[in-house]
Amino acid sequence: MNFRSRFWGLFAGTSLFLSTLTACFSGSGDLATATPPDSSLGDPANPVVASNFSRDVLLFNGTGVSTSDWQATEQMISGQGWSYALVNSAELNAMSLEEIASYRVIVIPGGKGGTITASLTEATRLKVRQAVRDRGVGYVGFCAGAWVAVGPEASGDQVASYGLAVAPGAILPSYYPGGDTSQTAAIVPVTLSSGETRQLVWWGGPSTPEWAGGVIGRYVTGEPAISQTWSGAGLVVISGPHPEAPQSWRSTAGFDSDGLDQDLAVAMIHAAMNRQPYTGPLH
């Protein structure tokens, strides 16, 4: 199988171009009272079955994914010293369930959810779900990666009508800052479960599900912005906005008073990879 493996020693100076970004399109409550999913090592009700993890991150950079977004995400992953591989649509389509399940977490950056869906075979979309649900592979999705993560087919083996359906729920609704449906990019405040508010890049992303005890960030409207849930043996963590966004995006999205938020993205990946629900940014 001819996919490129990249490891933590990769040169970190990859240039990122805002012009390659494509918007993340699909085709309320009180954080202080939320009870997070069980934070013990893995979900005791869903033990990992027959997994043989050999590397950390499988980063998808296939058709429909923004070039600058996967590059920013790769640079961030490399900086953590995690072992990883880049895989495009054809390469993921060629992978077996066993090969997919050899990674601790699958990461899908932003882009266009419908295009991502169309680039993958039905068999591949099902294998990704099985790797998460049955083998304990974590899943992290940013924007379009969140769009394609959620679907009503998650508990079964029916091919999803849209996306991967690695986590349960209806297809996600759009979120528009200030209710302005003409907006495509903005800096939006998101309040985390810790009480901290971050200014995050939003680029056409959704509201995430109101999973019980699993909302870890909310927009100013109270709608979920970042959510996590167990899907069988795997932990799924998804974000409507872009904590992984590089600094260059902010010149278009708007004024960002607190700068890079990649520590949030790192914490999301760390949580899913280690089957330990997110409890806050890594410092």
Instruction: Give 190-210 pLDDT, tens digit per residue.
Output: 999 989 999 999 999 999 999
Task: State the amino acid at position 44 in one-letter form.
Answer: P
Burial letters for 61-81: b for 16+ Cβ neighbours within 10 Å, e otherwise?
A: bbebbbbbbbbbbbbbbbebe
CB 140 within 8 A of CB 107: yes
Q: What confidence score (pLDDT) does residue 116 get?
A: 98
Q: What confidence score (pLDDT) does residue 29 get?
A: 39
Closest CA relative to residue 167, chosen from 235, 119, 266, 218: 235
User: Using CA atoms, how far apart are residues 209 and 35, in angstroms rounded to an integer?
Assistant: 15
Q: How many CB atoms lie within 10 A of CB 19?
A: 8
Q: What confidence score (pLDDT) does residue 191 get?
A: 97
User: Using CA atoms, how far apart are residues 142 and 251, in angstroms rounded to an integer?
Assistant: 20
Q: What confidence score (pLDDT) does residue 48 get?
A: 59
Digit-coded pLDDT (tens) for 44-53: 566 655 567 9
Q: What confidence score (pLDDT) does residue 256 get?
A: 86
pLDDT by 10s per residue, the chain, length 283 = 444 443 333 333 333 333 333 457 555 334 433 344 443 445 656 665 556 799 999 999 999 999 999 999 999 999 999 999 999 999 999 999 999 999 999 999 999 999 999 999 999 999 999 999 999 999 999 999 999 999 999 999 999 999 999 999 999 999 999 999 999 999 999 999 989 999 999 999 999 999 999 999 999 999 999 999 999 999 999 999 999 998 888 878 888 888 899 999 999 999 999 999 998 766 5
In the block, which residue shows the tokens 């990879």? 273
- Torsion angles phi and psi, residue 251, rounded to 5: -70, -25
Task: Please tell me the total number of residues recorded for the chain in this structure.
Answer: 283
